[in-house]
Amino acid sequence: MAKYRKLGRTSSQRKAMLRSQVTSLIYRGRIVTTQARAKEVQKIVDGIIALAVKEKDNFETVKVSAKVPVKDKDGKRVKEVVDGKRVTKFETVEKEIKKDMPSRLHARRQILRVLYPVTEVPATKAGRKRGTKEVDLVAKLFDEYGVKYANRNGGYTRIIKIGQRKGDGAMEVVLELV
């Protein structure tokens, strides 16, 4: 007996589709898909969330100093003239950052192997390219879902049947995080 469903795709197509659906589920919280796909995605997502729950507190906070460019009220960098050249003015800032312990770093890299990078694009047309930002789904897993599911022993997703699809009669379901 097979360990997984082939879903009528080649292995590269199947892996890409499952990665895409896992990423979408973690980013949005729910997806609509067929029952067979949902069961495969559910296996992957439950494993990822279990890893995030296990490693949620495995970090230390460290103080670091960083050089940050000085900006004016419009958000543009302040320039100053040094030796006849215009250069950006910097200031040193103390920050506290989370430093992952080795096992959390390993978990982070295992999760990144599965998830695709997600970029948020603003809805308004003005400043669409400038306003884009990369979403850190791994941080969301550790900080939000790790804390949310800390007292739960598995079963982080649920499948709700919504009926058959009109075109091919495949059973459609909603896969959502509990």
In a domain, 93, yes or no: no
The whole-angstrom separation of Cα 160 and Cα 32 is 9
Distances (CA, A) of 73 to 70, 89, 130, 152: 10, 15, 17, 47
pLDDT per residue, tens digit, the chain (178 aa), is: 678 999 999 999 999 999 999 999 999 999 999 999 999 999 999 999 999 999 999 999 999 999 999 999 888 899 998 888 999 999 999 999 999 999 999 999 999 999 999 999 888 776 667 778 899 999 999 999 999 999 999 999 999 999 999 999 999 999 999 9
In a domain, 171, yes or no: yes
What's the total number of domains in the chain? 1
In a domain, 63, yes or no: no
CATH code for position 163: 3.90.1030.10
pTM reported for the whole predicted model: 0.85
Range of the domain at 141: 11-58+101-177
